[in-house]
Chains A and B, each alone.
Chain A
């Protein structure tokens, strides 16, 4: 107690920014060091570990990719970029890239539309809203392996739930694990089932940040629910939309578990004819079944570049599309804003008039605006 008090008094006498004289006590010097080096000390565990387990492996991967490297015998000769050129000429590599994109598109696009719709529904003034929100994210707590196991049975070609239901509607059985497009659909369904609700909640959070009275004013101006959604809600949630799209891209490019577990009886991961072998699954097969680490490392680098490129492209695209829409919306917005302001002026005057009459309208309007969200 006394120590702290004297410490405080001393620091008041010598502001810390003054050049330090010889008379500085040990305590002051320690305090200065503390101030100067503590920040580095606190970030160092993160950076040391991150460099060790995050960055160093990526650099090491480059070395591996430039060698003949076998899973069992280890490093072989230096081959330069031969592994890269072999891969770029390998039809199996391109097959896996095609499959990845196909599955990605089949999952990302319906998922985004569904998530936005669900978010818009949850954004309404619902009864028991926590219950509905919970129901939407329930699939998120089912792990991808369990999801894959469940849907592997749902899409079983014989006696699977999907085919049983299709039969009742008079359709033929679909070969979910044999044909290319159906297998992609099956994998996309697993991804969508787990992630749609999660993304819906993220978008919902963004929608709730839009001030309510803007909607009110637009509604008074005669904008219907759809109009409000497309020209007000969508532009407002743009940054979050971009975030969701980029995350979905980076995740979608790395699909592994769902494709690996779709058909356990296939000895080749990704289907007997590699119908649904994704890029990461190809990488896995190359490294641990075909034991060619050098080429697998090259594939990893190529994927790395691909993911970054597609992620960036999506970012730029979605920003452009959104901002193009936004530009138009902005123009309309300015007109609307002018109207709102004019109207508010009128409303205030009306409120003042009412207040003069002894009405309690302003109080009521405050309460309705603060309606529990």
Chain B
């Protein structure tokens, strides 16, 4: 019992590395598991494409099809004829962009102030921000709807945008990032050189905050893009993409291949984001975990 251990301990560290097995390349079993996970996460989407590119009789077959059919564009044109797809796409791009701009802008400004400036009530206000990140504001749909109706804004995209112009999480996120990333001396030096606060913000804080702004922007955009409950309430006639997609289901729920072609079509923009910015998405999720 003690003898082999004693021997191991006396081995030089480069050899010990192999003995412990912590950093060793994992065996085939791990890769089998990984492939299983890969199939589980991609197959539903691939299956949708298979069905969406055929006519819905493929569903009555014994086994799901292996290769895509030739009717994808035909089904897509059915989608476009059934719901105002392009208008909805434009609406979603507009709404998500405005929300992203506003959230990133105001979060950076407030986050910078909380992270690097000293003022009375800073601690208390920050606690308030942190506490409200957990508030399920989605439950405020009823009063919000009453207000929107009173102002006559229902049906306009403004009604979709206004409730999410700022988020407490955004402020918290930017504050956590900026507090470490900008040395106090840098701000001091800029002030000494006669820069006023707004110049310090633009020329010191914003350049330093850029990576965090990109991550926050990406996730804010995703959240705005995927929102369904609120747009469904205020703009059913002037839909965002998610609302239009759901309308497709209620209009065509018998014809699965058209519904699934629509689901694939609506996923394409985000798939492009995924291909282009997948790494940023990963690091964003992982950074959020460490910071949050």
Question: Inside 8 A of B282's CB, which chain A residues have their CB?
Answer: 130, 133-134, 137, 201
Residue A179 is within 8 A (CB to CB) of chain B in the complex: no
Residue A136 is within 8 A (CB to CB) of chain B in the complex: yes
Given contact pairs A138-B274, A219-B22, A38 touches B142 in the complex (Cβ within 8 A): no
Given contact pairs A57-B147, A142-B270, A205-B286, A126 touches B26 in the complex (Cβ within 8 A): yes
Interface segment out of the listed B66-74, B128-136, B206-214 = B128-136
Question: Inside 8 A of B152's CB, which chain A residues have their CB?
Answer: none
Whether A142 contacts B45 by the Cβ 8 Å rule is yes
Given contact pairs A11-B192, A125-B25, A146-B267, A350 touches B12 in the complex (Cβ within 8 A): yes
Give min CB distance, A42 to chain B, whole Å. 4
Residue A149 is within 8 A (CB to CB) of chain B in the complex: yes
Question: Inside 8 A of B143's CB, which chain A residues have their CB?
Answer: 56-58, 60-61, 64, 297
Whether A125 contacts B13 by the Cβ 8 Å rule is no
Given contact pairs A4-B193, A257-B228, A202 touches B285 in the complex (Cβ within 8 A): yes
Residue A265 is within 8 A (CB to CB) of chain B in the complex: yes
Contact with A along B194-206 (1 / 0, CB 8 A): 1111100100000
Contact with A along B262-287 (1 / 0, CB 8 A): 11001100110110001101100111
Give min CB distance, A233 to chain B, whole Å. 11
**Among B23, B145, B263, contact of A368 (Cβ-Cβ < 8 Å):** B23
Q: Provide the bound-state CA to CA distance between A125 and B198, in Å.
A: 46
Whether A45 contacts B106 by the Cβ 8 Å rule is yes
Question: Inside 8 A of A30's CB, which chain B residues have their CB?
Answer: 196
Whether A118 contacts B13 by the Cβ 8 Å rule is no
Question: Inside 8 A of A4's CB, which chain B residues have their CB?
Answer: 193-195
Give min CB distance, B291 to chain A, whole Å. 10
Residue B166 is within 8 A (CB to CB) of chain A in the complex: yes
Give min CB distance, A13 to chain B, whole Å. 13
Q: Provide the bound-state CA to CA distance between A4 and B279, in Å.
A: 43
- Look across to chain B and name the residue whose beta carbon is closest to the beta carbon of A4: B194
Q: Provide the bound-state CA to CA distance between A146 and B246, in Å.
A: 8
Whether B193 contacts A8 by the Cβ 8 Å rule is yes
Q: How many A-B residue pairs have CB under 8 A?
A: 329
Q: Provide the bound-state CA to CA distance between A362 and B16, in Å.
A: 12
Contact with B along A351-373 (1 / 0, CB 8 A): 10010000101101100100100
Q: Provide the bound-state CA to CA distance between A296 and B145, in Å.
A: 12
Question: Inside 8 A of A365's CB, which chain B residues have their CB?
Answer: 13-14, 17
Whether B201 contacts A43 by the Cβ 8 Å rule is no
Tell me the chain B residues, 234-263 only, with Cβ under 8 Å from chain A: 241-242, 245-246, 248-250, 253, 256, 259-260, 262-263
Given contact pairs A134-B282, A138-B274, A146 touches B249 in the complex (Cβ within 8 A): no
Give min CB distance, A265 to chain B, whole Å. 6
Q: Provide the bound-state CA to CA distance between A350 and B45, in Å.
A: 56
Residue A188 is within 8 A (CB to CB) of chain B in the complex: no
**Among A38, A254, A304, contact of B198 (Cβ-Cβ < 8 Å):** A38
- Look across to chain B and name the residue whose beta carbon is closest to the beta carbon of A243: B292
- Look across to chain A and name the residue whose beta carbon is closest to the beta carbon of B45: A142
Q: Provide the bound-state CA to CA distance between A135 and B136, in Å.
A: 30
Given contact pairs A154-B44, A159-B60, A164-B63, A130 touches B279 in the complex (Cβ within 8 A): yes
Whether B250 contacts A264 by the Cβ 8 Å rule is yes
Whether A265 contacts B253 by the Cβ 8 Å rule is yes
Q: Provide the bound-state CA to CA distance between A183 and B33, in Å.
A: 28
Give min CB distance, B136 to chain A, whole Å. 5
Residue B80 is within 8 A (CB to CB) of chain A in the complex: no
Q: Which of B8, B62, B109, B282 has the most CB of A within 10 A?
A: B282
Give min CB distance, B227 to chain A, whole Å. 9
Whether B163 contacts A293 by the Cβ 8 Å rule is no
Residue B168 is within 8 A (CB to CB) of chain A in the complex: yes
Residue A182 is within 8 A (CB to CB) of chain B in the complex: no
**Among B22, B37, B165, B196, contact of A215 (Cβ-Cβ < 8 Å):** B22
Residue B101 is within 8 A (CB to CB) of chain A in the complex: no
Interface segment out of the listed A18-26, A47-55, A99-107, A324-332 = A47-55
Whether A43 contacts B17 by the Cβ 8 Å rule is no
Q: Provide the bound-state CA to CA distance between A368 and B25, in Å.
A: 13
**Among B112, B165, B201, contact of A49 (Cβ-Cβ < 8 Å):** B165
Given contact pairs A8-B192, A43-B114, A161 touches B278 in the complex (Cβ within 8 A): no
Given contact pairs A57-B143, A57-B144, A206-B290, A159 touches B9 in the complex (Cβ within 8 A): no
Q: Interface residues, chain B, CB within 8 Å of chain A?
A: 5, 8-10, 12-14, 16-17, 19-26, 30, 33-34, 37-38, 40-42, 44-45, 47-48, 51, 59-60, 62-64, 106-107, 109-110, 112-114, 117-119, 122, 125, 132, 134-147, 162-166, 168, 171, 191-198, 201, 222, 225-226, 228-229, 233, 241-242, 245-246, 248-250, 253, 256, 259-260, 262-263, 266-267, 270-271, 273-274, 278-279, 281-282, 285-290, 292
A–B complex contacts, Cβ < 8 Å, 28 sampled: A8-B192, A38-B113, A42-B109, A42-B110, A58-B140, A60-B146, A60-B147, A64-B143, A121-B26, A126-B30, A132-B34, A135-B38, A138-B274, A141-B281, A143-B228, A145-B226, A145-B245, A149-B245, A150-B260, A153-B259, A193-B44, A206-B290, A212-B22, A216-B16, A240-B289, A311-B134, A362-B13, A371-B23
**7 tightest CB-CB pairs across the interface, nearest first?**
A7-B194, A219-B20, A205-B286, A365-B13, A38-B197, A202-B289, A57-B140
Q: Interface residues, chain A, CB within 8 Å of chain B?
A: 3-4, 7-8, 11, 30-31, 34-36, 38-40, 42-43, 45-47, 49-50, 53-58, 60-61, 64, 118, 121, 124-127, 130, 132-146, 148-154, 156, 159-161, 164, 168, 193, 197-198, 201-206, 208-209, 212, 215-216, 219-220, 222, 225, 228, 240, 243, 246, 250, 253-254, 256-257, 260-261, 264-265, 280, 283-284, 287-288, 293, 296-297, 300-301, 303-304, 307-308, 311, 343, 346-347, 350-351, 354, 359, 361-362, 364-365, 368, 371
